[in-house]
Amino acid sequence: MRYAQLVMGPAGCGKSTYCTTVAEHAANEGQTIRVVNLDPAADFFKYNPSIDIRELIHLDDAMEDEDLKFGPNGGLVFCMEFLLQNMEWLEEQLGEADDDYIMFDCPGQIELYTHMTVMKQLTDTLQNWNFRVCGVFLIDSQFMVDSAKFLSGAMAALSVMVNLEIPHINILSKVDLLSKSAKKQLDRYLEPDPHDLIGDLESGSRWNEKYWSLTEALGRLIEDYSLVKFYPLDINDEENIGDLLLTINNIIQFGEDADVKIRDFEEPEDEDNDEQIPCG
């Protein structure tokens, strides 16, 4: 069995930083997690990628091509579809190691996850290659400490969960940047009660008044699924990172198939072994 995290989320939510942080934490614990860059437009990340999609195709290839002439968004979709048509490249790069653990750092274009089939096809292929995949969906906590934004973030998370049909975890990233008062609010958003949050909107704008029943219906939808839950991530808190990794490892049952390792060790040779030790 092989293990994977598919790290997804909107642009700039902290996907690459999450991959760097978790891979470093794992390395300090003696566990190897390789990071694969699947973002053809990436120009900076701190980890050292084990595999890099830009060696197969770069966003510039799609944008600068005389015939294709894509803009940045269409170009990105083209690159991901190109990857799907060339999955043997990824398969070869991944090798065949059993028990390996990979984090896929995905691009930040939200439609790739919410309603296009690209990520679903990628997930299905990884599963065919014997990977147990956990979807990891990040949302910037800066945007969440506001009920209306929260509902839209929760809808995005839910749509990814429903679209990909794999075990899934939602993360509120950049918790270290929250103010003290925002941190106090955070608990309300981790296991949200949509009714409570919608209550905040009551005194809101004309927009809220006009679309009140729509917002309420969305709240009910989230409640009906009762699947939208968020884990906070403070990248400066090793315990927090460790707990999160443990939760994900439990979801993909990482380590459960490992053979019990029995260490063979020889009795140290004792030169005085032959000597009788007088008793009494």
Ligand X SMILES: Nc1nc2c(ncn2[C@@H]2O[C@H](COP(=O)(O)OP(=O)(O)OP(=O)(O)O)[C@@H](O)[C@H]2O)c(=O)[nH]1
The binding site for Mg ion (CB under 5 A) comprises 15-16
Residue 15 in contact with ligand X, rule: CB under 6 A: yes
Out of 16, 37, 114, 215, the residue judged to bind ligand X by CB under 6 A: 16
Cβ atoms within 10 Å, residue 85: 8
Residue 216 in contact with ligand X, rule: CB under 6 A: no
- For residue 76, the surrounding DSSP H or E stretch is helix 72-85
Stretch that binds ligand X, among 5-13, 25-33, 54-62, 197-205 (CB under 6 A): 5-13
Give the footprint of ligand X on residues 175-194 (CB under 6 A).
176-177
Q: Which does 13 bind (CB under 5 to 8 A by kind): Mg ion, ligand X, none?
A: ligand X
Give the footprint of ligand X on residues 36-65 (CB under 6 A).
39
Contacts of 90 (CB under 8 A, 6+ apart): 51, 56, 83
CA distance 94 to 92: 5
Give the footprint of ligand X on residues 89-148 (CB under 6 A).
108
Residue 5 C-beta: closest distance to Mg ion, Å: 14
Q: Which is nearer to ligand X, 157 or 198 (CB)?
A: 157
Q: Which does 235 bind (CB under 5 to 8 A by kind): Mg ion, ligand X, none?
A: ligand X
Total residues belonging to the chain: 280
Q: Is the dihedral of CA 111, 114, 119, 120 positive or negative?
A: negative
Quote the crossing angle between the two packed helices 194-201 and 180-190, to the nearest 10°.
Answer: 130
- Edge-to-edge order in the sheet of strand 51-52: 51-52, 34-37, 101-105, 2-8, 131-140, 168-173, 230-232
Residue 176 C-beta: closest distance to ligand X, Å: 5
Quote the crossing angle between the two packed helices 87-94 and 72-85, to the nearest 10°.
Answer: 70
Assign 4 to helix, strand or coil: strand
Residue 115 C-beta: closest distance to Mg ion, Å: 21
Residue 205 C-beta: closest distance to ligand X, Å: 29
Q: Which does 52 bind (CB under 5 to 8 A by kind): Mg ion, ligand X, none?
A: none
Instruction: Give the binding site for ligand X (CB under 6 A).
Output: 9, 11-17, 39, 108, 173-174, 176-177, 235
